[in-house]
Amino acid sequence: MEVAAAGSAAPSLAGAPKTVTFGVVLVTFAGAQGAPRTARTKADAEKLAASLAELAKKDFAAAVKKGDEGSTEDAGKMYQGILEAGPEFALFTLEPEHVAGPVETPRGFWIVRRIK
């Protein structure tokens, strides 16, 4: 499984939309921002995120239900320049209705679906 690192540089977003509407499946792990004290290990989170990414490609709503608190089918509009490089590149280079991830963020692993 290929997971982008939270702080890694992403290729150019030239030609990408300036805003997207998206959904996200969040998988937290111990040490991630906002993770509960009882959060799973990073290795366990990575395995779960890989499994949920496969499910999300077939049924995003089902993956959201199995994700951690903060997972949502519609997170609203996101503007370029707000997210870290890895999740921003994954999200802004997606075609509408496609799924990407898991991508490591400071908040845990994200599986994203671009709505618009």
SS (H, E, C) 69-94: CCCEEEEEEEECCCCCHHHHHHHHCC
Mean pLDDT value of segment 25-29: 98
Q: Is the pLDDT of residue 1 over 70?
A: no
| All domains in the chain, ordered by first residue | 28-114 (3.10.50.40)
CA distance 50 to 103: 10
Residue 45, SS3? Answer: helix
Cβ-contact 91, 82 below 8 angstroms: no
pLDDT score, position 11: 63
* Lowest-pLDDT range of 10-14, 27-31, 72-76: 10-14
At 53, give phi and psi (nearest 5°): -65, -40
Average pLDDT over residues 51-73: 97
Q: What is the DSSP letter of 12?
A: -
pLDDT over 90 (residue 96) = yes
Whole-number Å distance between alpha carbons of 3 and 6? 9
pTM score: 0.86
